[in-house]
């Protein structure tokens, strides 16, 4: 979701080369699994690249405090997770595991995770 990250330029792609799914924190949610499933089963994709980034607003965010503020401001129920995390590498690893363990994404031949450094432009693979 972060405007500082251009996945096409970062990965050397051009428009039409990849399906790009963006959300806050790059967190693998049910909606991400849904989108990846459609991409694989209907459009034939076989590779997944998950990219987190340094300086992410969800890294270190207090989910409970944020949720309380939302409830106070909106007075509306929320049916989605804030999905904040403590460390971007761990979040990417957990996302990769969610993708690999999903029964809907068994067609993925390659699932890799990376962290993009917003200050240097470097892309580092997460082991």
Q: Are 39 and 99 in contact (CB under 8 A)?
A: no
Q: Tokens for 62?
A: 């207090």
Arithmetic mean of pLDDT, 96-108:
94
What is the spatial distance between Cα 110 and Cα 36, in angstroms, rounded to a whole number? 13
For residue 107, what pLDDT band results from cuts at 50, 70 and 90?
confident
Q: Are 7 and 51 in contact (CB under 8 A)?
A: yes
CATH number for the domain formed by residue range(s) 7-125: 3.40.1050.10
Q: What is the mean pLDDT of the chain?
A: 95
Q: Are 50 and 112 in contact (CB under 8 A)?
A: yes
Arithmetic mean of pLDDT, 35-60:
96
State phi, psi for 55 to the nearest 5 degrees: 70, 25
Mind giving me the DSSP string for 88-123?
HHHHHHHHHHHHHH-GGGTT-SEEEEEEE-TTT--E
Arithmetic mean of pLDDT, 76-102:
95
Would you state the pLDDT for residue 106?
Answer: 87
* 11-40 tens-digit pLDDT: 999 999 999 999 999 999 999 999 999 999
pTM summary value: 0.91
Residue 65 has pLDDT above 90, yes or no: yes
């Amino acid at each position: 979701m972060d405007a500082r990250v251009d996945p096409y330029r970062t990965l050397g792609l051009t428009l039409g080369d990849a399906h790009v799914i963006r959300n806050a924190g790059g967190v693998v949610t049910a909606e991400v699994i849904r989108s990846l499933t459609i991409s694989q089963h209907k459009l034939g994709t076989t590779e997944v690249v998950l990219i987190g980034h340094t300086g992410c607003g969800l890294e270190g965010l207090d989910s409970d405090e944020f949720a309380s503020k939302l409830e106070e401001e909106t007075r509306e129920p929320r049916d989605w997770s804030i999905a904040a995390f403590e460390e971007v590498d761990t979040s990417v690893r957990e996302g990769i595991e969610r993708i690999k363990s999903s029964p809907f994404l068994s067609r993925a031949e390659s699932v890799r995770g990376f962290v993009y450094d917003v200050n240097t432009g470097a892309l580092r693979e997460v082991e």
